[in-house]
Amino acid sequence: MMFKKIILPIVLIFLMLALIPFSLPAYYMMFLTTLFMYIILTVSWNIFSGYTGYISLAHSALFGIGGFISVFTTSFLPLPLPFILGGATSAFIGFLVGLLTLRLKGLYFTIFSFAISLLAYNFFSFIVFGRARTAGVYIKVLPDTLIYYSLLAVLLIIIVISIWLIRSRYGEAIMAIGQDELKAETIGINATFWKVMIFVLSSIFVGLTGAISAQRYLYIDPQTAFNLRTTFEPITMAIVGGTGTFLGPIIGAILLTIIEELLAVRVPYYYFLLLGILLLVFLLFLKEGIIGILQSVRFPRKRPQSNTSGT
């Protein structure tokens, strides 16, 4: 049952994706690389914020930090190490932020996670690069296939981990915190501990993705590395797809990455305008996301039944 429904499809999909660089033109590989990046960022946002309900706005900080660490260390470290170091640094920052703010209930975490992006930007532009605001680093770009396979590997890991998480008792603990933190604590769940752990887990993937993605482009500077869009896009993708579910964020990321591919180069600001409007529309009218629409089409009569039979 589990093999047929979960493991087999995943193995097949990833095998197919692994063959893409050999079979399709380079354009598709580039597109899929971007898609993998967005799926990882969206799923990593969802495993923390989607399940616990604590809204994290720290993605752009963690992404940029991972990117800079990997760019700084590639000259003297062999290859997977800069990526891992980038992920580890972001995890450490995530740990500090979580420790500092997740013991407090309410919006302190969100406020601080918003500030940390600007803090990281200021730190890199004024301490690392001195006063000049436009300073950055030139990068010896890595081969596209290497980036593709690295992100594919990270994607596989995060998908396996998030499936395992949902089905494990740890996942249940986290969802319990998201539904009612006080009750979860009453039945003996150490809420602060689990919130920090999951936030660190999420941060590792954001850092890793930043570390790998930074090596795609010729040049990196604080302005692009810490752009708030790295926070905004995954959140919108998760909300559009449906938060707190496994498939929802993936569907949202795929759909919006296609829209981005069509719009972002030609009319970037219309793309962001559209994203903002989509975010509002889904928050207001389609709170279950696309996954909710799909489910209500597939099981139209199930809802009222489950309401009445709930114990």
Residues that bind other proteins (CB under 8 A): 53, 55, 57, 100-101, 104, 106-108, 110-112, 114-116, 118-119, 122-123, 125-127, 131, 228, 232, 235-236, 239, 269-270, 272-273, 275-277, 279-280, 283-285, 287
Shortest separation between residue 141's beta carbon and other proteins, angstroms: 28
State how far the Cα of 85 lies from the Cα of 180, in Å rounded to an integer.
36
Between 50 and 82, CB nearer to other proteins: 50
Whole-angstrom CA distances from 213 to 68, 106, 200 are: 11, 33, 20
CB of 135 to other proteins, least distance (A): 12
Cα of first residue to Cα of last residue in the chain, in angstroms, is 27
Q: Shortest gap between Cβ of 21 and other proteins (angstroms)? A: 34
Q: Checking DSSP bridges between strand 219-220 and strand 137-138, what pairing results, if any?
A: antiparallel
Q: In angstroms, what is the minimal distance from the CB of 246 to other proteins?
A: 20
Q: Which is nearer to other proteins, 99 or 146 (CB)?
A: 99
Q: How far is the CB of 145 from other proteins (least distance, A)?
A: 33
Cα-to-chain-centroid distance, residue 252: 12
Q: Looking at beta carbons only, is 277 or 293 nearer to other proteins? A: 277
Q: How far is the CB of 192 from other proteins (least distance, A)?
A: 13
Q: Which is nearer to other proteins, 70 or 89 (CB)?
A: 89
Nearer to other proteins, 57 or 201 (CB): 57
Q: What Å distances lie between residue 183 and 47, 179, 190, CA to CA?
A: 20, 9, 11
Q: Which is nearer to other proteins, 101 or 295 (CB)?
A: 101
* CA separation, residue 142 to residues 36, 75, 214 (Å): 17, 12, 10
Q: How far is the CB of 223 from other proteins (least distance, A)?
A: 10
Q: 112: which residues sit within 8 A by CB, 6+ positions away? A: 97, 100, 101
If the CB atoms of residues 18 and 55 are measured against other proteins, the closer one turns out to be 55
Residue (75 or 186) nearer to other proteins, CB? 186
Min dist CB 283 to other proteins, Å, is 5
Distance CA 296, CA 300 (A): 5
Which residue, 100 or 139, has its beta carbon nearer to other proteins? 100
Distance CA 172, CA 264 (A): 38
CA distance 69 to 211: 7
Least distance CB 204 / other proteins (angstroms): 22
Q: Which residue has the tokens 């730190």?
A: 123
Task: Give the total residue count for the chain.
Answer: 311
Q: Would you say 6 and 201 are in contact if contact means Cβ atoms under 8 Å apart?
A: no
Sign of CA dihedral 18, 155, 32, 151: negative
Rg of the chain over Cα atoms, rounded to whole angstroms, equals: 20
